[in-house]
Amino acid sequence: MAESILKNHIKSYTNLSEEELTEVLSFFDCQSYKKKETLLPTSNRCDKLFFVAKGCLQLYFIDDLGHKKTTQFALESWWLTDFLAFQNQKRSNFTIEAVENSIILSISFSKYNELLSKFPLLEKYFRSIYETAYGAALMRLKYINSYSKEEMFFRFREDFPEFVQRVPQYSLASFLGLTPEYLSEIKRK
């Protein structure tokens, strides 16, 4: 099942044959994660790129006061990693954790490079993925810098209702730069 989700996702961006797609999938490992299980701990070398077949992941860091600060979420058919650490094969400044029980396909850095060498068409696929992720990060910055705290939540809820329904309130508050208490107050209004 997980493999077919990734296969269909790749097919929506490329014209690889069924045989090629089957070979592409052989580069990936499939694993299930329980809610709150860590996929990438902070300070570990970031050697994997994760595709969410089912569930939800979050990427976060712990600030100087010990508060969790979520910077990204990934629902089904989204990719997630500490992209800078993955590209440079460095230690991550972030943790990746399952927000809910999840089924994840992952590819190691070495297999990723082998995959791109063998299937150059996937360079275009991943470029599209990264452009979308970058665009989403820019939208988050726009929300934070353009709107009041209340407006930010209401616009986010309007634009991304699935996130608001699926992500725990404390994680959503962290992502939006709010406290969980203030988010509760906004939601009550």
Per-residue pLDDT tens digits for 33-72: 999 999 999 999 999 999 999 999 999 999 999 999 999 9
Any residues with CB less than 8 A from the CB of 185 and at least 6 apart, and which? none
Taking the C-alpha atoms of residue 66 and residue 63, their distance in angstroms, rounded to an integer, is 5
Per-residue pLDDT tens digits for 80-111: 999 999 999 999 999 999 999 999 999 999 99
Specify the range with the lowest mean pLDDT, choosing from 17-31, 59-73, 121-135, 146-160.
Answer: 146-160
What pLDDT was estimated at residue 165? 86
**Angle, in degrees to the nearest 10, between helices 109-118 and 121-146:** 130
Tell me which residue has tokens 């997630």: 80
Percent of all residues in the chain with a pLDDT value above 90, rounded to a whole number:
74
**Average pLDDT of the chain, as a whole number:** 94
- Model pTM? 0.93
